[in-house]
Amino acid sequence: MPKSTSSDNSPSLPDQSAMAASPLLILIDGHSLAFRSYFAFAKSRQGGLRTKTGIPTSVCFGFIKSLLEVMDSENPNAIAIAFDTKEATFRQQADATYKANRSETPEDFIPDVKNLQQLLQGLRIPVITSPGYEADDVLATLAHQAIDQGYRVKVVSGDRDLFQLVAPDKGITVLYLSGAFARGSATVGPTEYGLEEVEAKLGVLPSQVVDYKALCGDPSDNIPGVKGIGAKTAVKLLKEYQTLDNIYASLDTIKGAVKKKLEVGKLDAEHARYLAQLRFDTPVDIDLDQSQLQGFDPQVLKPLLEKLELKSFISQIDKL
């Protein structure tokens, strides 16, 4: 970020030293990290981690390992974790095909997540859900509440949808979990994404991510976007016109097949934008003070770690 000058007419930029001194809230996309932890081991020769008695532990191991690494490297003041719920979301009510391409949840994933949530309870880290909304919406709402209360925010996720939250000038970045993490690489942790990293990854700025998905869709969420408009064309259009609204306001200046595709697909673009846009008004039943780290509950945590044969974490949590 360019430094401000001494000129009275120069735009005021955030005080980076003051921002760095602000308390740090880590927000974790629970399902994203849980699934990546699961698949990091599920495709191994052993077919996933289990105790001697057969309890699945891939999720618990990968999630707690990553959580402790983030806590060690980032030294946060507060942590909160968001999970999806079983209820249909407002997006699925608006479009029955939304995420309809997702595979069924593996059977051994569910008990693993239940044990994980008990571990998180023992760590006294709040788990937040909001029926009718996705974990991403919970994270978006909490991130904006947090910066209004003077926090810096780092969001841990492997979901590119959350790139739209990135705003380093406000104190929000994403700790992105790459595909290498999901493939079980022990040496690959999350990479912090600011403006430059998002643009390098997608070709657009965080403020353009929603309009980018509106144009070229998002196969991972089964959002088609405008038929015939691919990622390269979407980036080119947004480079020239900045926003989806500006693109449609400037159709007369766009020539050939692209113009025709945009004309035919306008309603599809608007629908895709609605699905891609995160909500900042998600009902969340938590005060951010509840996310302050307050030590763990040894009576809950240690017996469960021993039951799950995750004893290697006991010495680590003793240092928290």
The terminus-to-terminus CA distance of the chain in angstroms comes to 34
User: What's the confidence (pLDDT) of residue 6?
Assistant: 37
Class of the 20-199+278-309 domain?
alpha beta
In tens, the pLDDT along 257-281 reads: 999 999 999 999 999 999 999 999 9
- d(C-alpha 153, C-alpha 284), whole Å: 17
CATH topology of domain 206-276: DNA polymerase; domain 1 (1.10.150)
- d(C-alpha 258, C-alpha 260), whole Å: 5
User: What's the confidence (pLDDT) of residue 10?
Assistant: 38
User: What's the confidence (pLDDT) of residue 182?
Assistant: 47
Contact 74, 91 (CB under 8 A): no
Q: 80 pairs with which residues across the strands?
A: 27
- d(C-alpha 320, C-alpha 156), whole Å: 19
- What three-state secondary structure class fits 319? coil
Residues written for the chain: 320
- Report strand pairing: 152-157 vs 172-176: parallel
Residue at token pair 């408009």: 229
Contact 68, 16 (CB under 8 A): no
- d(C-alpha 241, C-alpha 197), whole Å: 21
User: What's the confidence (pLDDT) of residue 147?
Assistant: 96
Where helices occur in 5-57 by DSSP H, the ranges are 16-20, 30-42
User: What's the confidence (pLDDT) of residue 44?
Assistant: 66
Identify the segments of the chain with pLDDT beneath 50.
1-13, 182
Which has the closest alpha carbon to 174: 22, 11, 28? 28
- d(C-alpha 227, C-alpha 294), whole Å: 51
Q: In sequence order, what are the residues at sequence separation of 6 or more whose Cβ sits closer than 8 angstroms to the Cβ of residue 220? A: none
DSSP tag of 165: G
Helices 30-42 and 109-122, interaxial angle, to 10°?
130
Hey, where are the domains in the chain?
Answer: 20-199+278-309, 206-276
